[in-house]
Homo-oligomer: A and B are copies of this chain.
Amino acid sequence: VSERILPGAARPATVYLVGAGPGDPGLLTVRARTLLDACDAVVHDALVAPELIALLGARPRPPEIHFVGKRGGDDASASQEAINQVLVSLARAGKSVVRLKGGDPFVFGRGSEEAQVLAQAGIAFEVVPGVTAGIAGPAYAGIPVTHRGMATAVTFVTGHEDPTKPSAQTDWPALARSGSTIVLYMGLRRLPTIVRALVSGGLSPDTPAACIQWATTARQQTVA
């Protein structure tokens, strides 16, 4: 990225798109920990464990903390633009920014959209992958997502899309037949519709299933 720097203007700093992992602070990566210990600003949403944010206050010089939470997702496009704007403004002010996202930034995290915005704005960025809840939540519940001879594939799929929409991108009947372990992210709201789509697509109603809330935190709840 080459840029003209105005005399006296702050040089845009790097934005780090960082996966915070699924909740347990022990599942943060070493790289994420290092960046959180050194950055000027942290921009996070509601999916990041409160314990992680609380730890930032213990730094000798705590970073600026920007909460840009949204929940539920579907009506959040305006809000995503606001988040993009916060990232660009902080970087242009010369502040190194950790954009902290629950799980992994590129797994249903809209991290790729933020990366596009930063690239278009000529701001350097780095992606730091994280442990995704779809693997770790089941592991904490004693459920391996793959097992030799039983599950040779695992699919992560967003539960935000309505499977009855004609424009639905996921082919649920095909997924039902794929032989894959299916992990729904944010699947609670549309669960009945999705289950109907899978069963009518050929998935046996006897298929073992579990529902996990607050994955890997002390509050994790599992219903099998």
Contacts and interface: CB of A to CB of B under 8 A. Distances in A.
Interface of A: 19, 21-22, 24-31, 33-34, 104-108, 110-113, 115, 127-132, 135-136, 138-140, 144-149, 151-158, 161, 169-171, 174-180, 216
Copies in the complex: 2
Among A24, A28, A29, A33, residue most surrounded by chain B Cβ atoms (within 10 Å) = A29
A12 to B, nearest CB: 20
A190 to B, nearest CB: 12
SS of A interface (majority): mixed
Nearest to A161: B152
Contacts of A157: 152-154, 180
17 contacts: A25-B30, A26-B30, A27-B129, A29-B29, A104-B131, A111-B144, A112-B144, A115-B144, A129-B136, A130-B131, A153-B156, A155-B155, A157-B180, A170-B178, A171-B179, A174-B174, A174-B175
B129 A135 contact: yes
Given A30-B30, A107-B146, A129-B139, 15 more contacts: A22-B129, A26-B30, A29-B30, A29-B131, A30-B33, A127-B140, A129-B216, A132-B135, A151-B169, A152-B157, A152-B161, A153-B170, A154-B155, A155-B156, A169-B179
